Amino acid sequence: MTRFRSPAVRACWYLSLAILAVPFVFPFLWMLSSAVKSQAEIFSPALSLLPETWHWENYAEVFRYQPFARQYANSLYIAGLVTAGTLFISSLAGYALARIRFAGSGLLLLVLISALMMPEEVTIIPNFFLMKQLGLMNTHMPLILLPMFGSQGVMATFLMRQYFTALPPELEEAARMDGLSRFGIFWKVALPLSRPALAAVGIITFLYSWNLFLEPLVFLSDIELFTLPLALSNFTDAYGLPLWHLQMAATSLAVVPILVVYIAAQRQIVESFALSGVKG
Amino acid sequence: MKAAAIRPPIPLRTREALVGWLFVSPVTIGFLIFFVGPLIAVLGYSLTEWNLLSQQSSFVGMDNYADALGRNPEFWTVLRNSLVFAAGLVPLNMVLALTLAVALSRPFRGVVIFRTVFFAPVVTAAVAWAIVWTFLLQGESGAVNQGLALLGIDGPNWLRHPDWAMFAVIVTRVFKTVGLNMILYIAALQSIPRDYEEAARLEGASGWQVFRMITWPLLAPTTLVIMVITVVGSLKVFDHIYLMTEGGPENGTLVLAFYIYEQAFEFFHVGYAAALAVILFLLIALLTVTQVMLKQRGGPR
Amino acid sequence: MERHDRMIKRLIGASALMAGMLGTTAMAEELRFTVWTGSDAHLAMLDGIAASYTEKHPDVTVRFETIPFADYVQKITLQLAGGNPPDLGWLLENSAPTFVDAGVLLDVSDTLKDTDGYDFDDLSQAAMGLWQEGGAVYGVPFSTSPFIIYYNASLYDAAGLEHPDVLAAKGEWTWERLKQDAAALADAEEGVWGFQSVDGQGYGGRVIHTLIPMIRSYGGAAWEDGTCGLSSDEAVEAVALYHDMIFKDRSAVPPGEQGDFFTGNAALTVTQLSRVSKLSDAGFDWGIAPLPSGPAGAVSVIGQAAVVAFAQGSQTELAADFLAHMTRPENVAVMAEFFPPARLSVLEDEAFLSSNAAVTSAQMKIVAEGIANGSVAPGHIAYPQIESAMRPKFDALWKPDADVKAVLEDVCAAIEPLL
């Protein structure tokens, strides 16, 4: 425990942190409060966190306005699939790049690293035509394939490789003596040891997929197929004027569950980042 | 050895190589199809005039590049905006991240709450964050300006003023992403052995000196990673711009990533957009390499 | 997976049909029809028209898909370019030249002429202008809707002001008068604005729809025959009036601010007949008036939208047939409730004046007169480019100290090469 030199110092310390926290907390509070206001009250000039009358029906209206439950499920299953898939292939490749000596591995690593920082905006146009040719327009496949194999997948592979490189090789030797195959060593020894890295990479990947906006915007046209970010940007009246009360209710629904999971698991999340070597 | 005479075993090295390639094949094949292929294709596209709507294209050589670099004054505005965005966002983000990390790396009552608060926007969908801030930053009726009015400040029409719009987008983006950098710095700070600092303290170094002489150099590798990630992240910003300003007002927030999207998918100029994508690629490659080289010349990692 | 679902649904639908009508082996077909309205009233009306088609063609269903107005053209383009085209859709007048030129619209002239009882010549030639080229017909307007003024009668009465339609009848309804009324009715304390631009989007994609009614009634034009008219003295005078409303009187909803006429937060707005559906549960009295007149007299500006079929669709014949069905005289009469028609027979019929229960026949007359005297909002083959060139220049207008003339000259300089 840090000890404060005097109560005054302590008060200053907490006060300055609290002021810094305002722009991080206030948007959530304002969002939750606007979600239960009427559209008319939202525009009234009186600034109040508590609504005059509570419009809980805004939440029900969100589901009437768009197939929001379906869109929520889309986002969850896509992010889940992308995370599981990325973890599997990136740990497999990361392990090989760290532990197995094979011709071309150095070159491959170099090529992958050079792609590490390339945003999807660079390749979105050709990928658009590629997906068209594969008949995957207006499906979820681009949203699954591109994060797994684009720069995000490369990033995951690189992080896994870094972690495996730092793992003491002695741990594997024993398994090798026992006659385990390479895959056996990977699956039964290396992978269980890399839990912190898997957790960190998993979280990064999940959030990446969860946040994805450009890809759904370009590849999806059917409202039933929308993911949350796209659905959230869609709460306007027929002529494009934002319906702020529904907008805020929907945003609350999208944000709060993830926030709760995060708060419940925040210690593990911070630890996994600390242990994983993501720090570089 | 008898069996070997009948069927020679695959040498260990070959077998290892096979297994190695097998392990990396999913990533490699996908990478070739969805990244390397498109990257080559985008180079090809950039040499054509291609209308997305009518699907007609013709070869025009370097015309699109000439358009961007010479004929179209918009491009330089866009490039300038992208660099202003990065130059504003990166230092602000890193200084804030480090400040928060130093403040929150040691335990004190409530530290977990503060860490949670500053990290919360990171786990919030970027779209949600941008939408809520757009709502807060509305001209006179927005909560931010109403709050400022209580303090007697007449706030600007944030998202409708060319200079303030850029400022607003940068700052809200920093709030969204600073938590991740903070956590990475906290992890790095916590891995620095306490004795280093205590030894320096015993020799009478001030808090600032300890930070300057011991902590900061030890953080260098983390700083490099964070800097590269943040610079690249700032150049690919799309959703914040799309949702908060659409590149306006007066093109004041028109940045490269959004400009590419707009040219390709709103104005149907596939060829020109591809040329812009190539330029973005080169820009990012250049910046990444420069940063790594600068850092390496600065001293061994 | 979705595709799978749809396939299963289709199979179920098909087998049900086969069970129901022995001997018919036709597969169920679905036409996808994109629209920008999300209004329940509009969609119910459209579904009704689709149902009457399904009666005659039991194997065909029509699915109306709502794409928000602001993203409409872009989404349609993505679907066309992505090889996932809708079969039919609505299209706004300003997109017509671009889409016709790109060759993505289906020529439906033969289908229309071969359809019994279609009466092609009944379509107003003026209204068909944008949608015909040579002998080809690329769309049929379902809405030829003049911009009109909606006003909040409760606010007018509370302030003791004369209603705009009354003023119009006396010939006193001018933009100057509208400006005065808006200033008198705006009430910042209550969060009430005087005037709201078209659908609240007068500063972005619809700046032309907002300014053109004013500019034309002052004797100006957006562009004509390749020259930009936005910087003419007449146009500058008109735009300056609006600029004063925003920044001097603070009566018009400024950019970055939202005040909604339809929830009672603005006293006046300029819009079209179809928005009546948004007033079904309005908590205030409202009325309709023609556009105010200016120094150049009273003008009327028409926003037009047509039904088109897309050439890349997989069932173009069926799509063309449904297009013909939808724009037959009897269905045009149905749609006239919200969308003033391009058919002379419907327009001239007394029944048109009472087609919408929420709108009095006196009010509907204002609409009809608007159509008769109006000309369509400006369009251009390079409209997307023009719009993108205009937008950043127009942004400079929305500042308190903007030099209106200089800004409009900038706008013209930016778009002249494209005209």
pLDDT computed for residue C382 by the predictor: 84
pLDDT computed for residue A38 by the predictor: 87
Q: Going by DSSP bridges, is the β-strand pair C29-35/B57-59 parallel, antiparallel, or unpaired? A: unpaired
> Is residue C324 located within the same domain as residue C395?
no
**C-beta atoms of A117 and B228 within 8 A:** yes
Which amino acid does the sequence have at C156? Y
The contacts of residue C379 (CB under 8 Å, 6+ apart) are C93, C94, C95, C96, C97, C130
The answer to whether residue C130 sits within a structural domain is yes
Taking an 8 Å Cβ-Cβ cutoff, which residues of chain A contact chain C? 39-40, 43-45, 128, 131-132, 135, 137-140, 218-219, 221-225, 234, 236-242, 244
Alpha carbon distance A264, A270 (integer Å): 12
Phi and psi torsions of B108, nearest 5°: -150, 165
C83 inside 8 A of chain A by CB? yes
**C-beta atoms of A47 and B238 within 8 A:** no
C396 inside 8 A of chain B by CB? yes
Share the mean pLDDT of chain C.
87
The answer to whether residue C157 sits within a structural domain is yes
**Domain boundaries along the sequence of chain A:** 67-276
> Is residue C173 located within the same domain as residue C186?
yes
Range among B193-207, B251-265, C116-130 with highest mean pLDDT value: B251-265
Report residue C134's pLDDT band, with 50, 70 and 90 as the boundaries.
confident
**C-beta atoms of B34 and A23 within 8 A:** no
Could you please report the per-residue DSSP string of A9-26?
HHHHHHHHHHHHHHHHHH
> Is residue C140 located within the same domain as residue C156?
no
Contact list, C310 vs chain A (CB under 8 Å): none
Report residue C19's pLDDT band, with 50, 70 and 90 as the boundaries.
very low
The CA-based angle C366-C369-C372, given to 5 degrees, is: 155
Find out whether B274 and B38 touch, Cβ atoms under 8 Å: no
Share the mean pLDDT of chain B.
88
CA dihedral B78, B83, B85, B88 (to 10 degrees): -150
> Is residue C167 located within the same domain as residue C252?
yes
Beta bridge partner(s), residue C297: C294
Q: Which of C258, C385, C392 sits opposite B248 (nearest CB)?
A: C392
**Domain boundaries along the sequence of chain B:** 72-267
> What ipTM was predicted for this assembly?
0.90
Beta bridge partner(s), residue C174: C293
Contact list, A74 vs chain C (CB under 8 Å): none
pLDDT at B224 over 90: no
pLDDT at C125 over 70: yes
Of the residues C197, C260, C271, C272, the best mutation for testing chain A's interface (the one with the most A CB atoms within 10 Å of its CB) is: C260
Of the residues A121, A248, A269, the best mutation for testing chain B's interface (the one with the most B CB atoms within 10 Å of its CB) is: A121
> Is residue C286 located within the same domain as residue C321?
no
Alpha carbon distance C170, C162 (integer Å): 11
pLDDT computed for residue A76 by the predictor: 95
pLDDT at C22 over 70: no
pLDDT computed for residue A234 by the predictor: 85
Pick from C4, A117, C195: which is nearest to B285 by CA?
A117
Alpha carbon distance C170, B271 (integer Å): 57
**C-beta atoms of A154 and B31 within 8 A:** yes
Pull the structure tokens for residue C280.
Answer: 């079904």
Chain B residue with the nearest C-alpha to that of A93? B24
Average pLDDT over residues B180-204: 86
CATH number of C170's domain: 3.40.190.10
pLDDT computed for residue A214 by the predictor: 94
Q: What percent of chain B has pLDDT over 90?
A: 48
Which amino acid does the sequence have at C116? D
Q: Which of B53, B249, B267 sits opposite C388 (nearest CB)?
A: B267
pLDDT computed for residue B240 by the predictor: 93
> Is residue C206 located within the same domain as residue C260?
yes
CA distance B5 to chain A (A): 23
CA distance A261 to chain B (A): 10
Question: What architecture is the B72-267 domain classified under in CATH?
Answer: Orthogonal Bundle (1.10)
Pull the structure tokens for residue B109.
Answer: 């009552």
**Neighbors of chain B by Cβ distance (3+ pairs < 8 Å):** A, C
Q: Which of B23, B132, B265 sits opposite A31 (nearest CB)?
A: B132
The answer to whether residue C60 sits within a structural domain is yes
Q: How confident is the prediction along chain A (280 residues), in pLDDT tens digits per residue?
A: 456 778 888 899 999 999 999 999 999 999 999 999 988 788 777 778 888 889 999 999 999 988 999 999 999 999 999 999 999 999 999 999 999 988 899 999 988 888 888 888 899 999 999 999 999 999 999 999 999 999 899 999 998 998 999 888 888 888 888 888 889 999 999 999 898 899 989 988 999 999 899 999 999 988 899 999 999 988 887 777 788 899 999 999 999 988 898 888 877 877 777 676 554 4
Q: Which residue has the tokens 């005065």?
A: C180
With H, G, I as helix, E, B as strand and everything else as coil, classify residue A237.
coil
C-alpha distances in Å from residue C68, one per residue of A229, C38, C389: 16, 8, 23
Chain C residue with the nearest C-alpha to that of B141? C257
pLDDT at B208 over 90: no
Average pLDDT over residues C238-266: 90
Pull the structure tokens for residue C122.
Answer: 């009944």
Note the pLDDT tens digit of each residue in B34-45: 999 999 999 999
pLDDT at B254 over 90: yes
CB pairs under 8 A between A and B: 275
Contact list, B158 vs chain C (CB under 8 Å): 256
C281 inside 8 A of chain A by CB? no
Pull the structure tokens for residue C232.
Answer: 């003419």
CATH no., domain A67-276: 1.10.3720.10
Domain that holds residue C366: 28-144+306-371
With H, G, I as helix, E, B as strand and everything else as coil, classify residue B204.
coil
Note the pLDDT tens digit of each residue in B53-76: 888 889 999 999 998 998 888 899
**C-beta atoms of B53 and C204 within 8 A:** no
End-to-end C-alpha distance for chain C, whole angstroms: 46
**C-beta atoms of A105 and B24 within 8 A:** yes
Ramachandran region, residue B246 (left: φ > 0; alpha: ψ -120 to 50; beta: rest): left
Report the domain count for chain C: 2
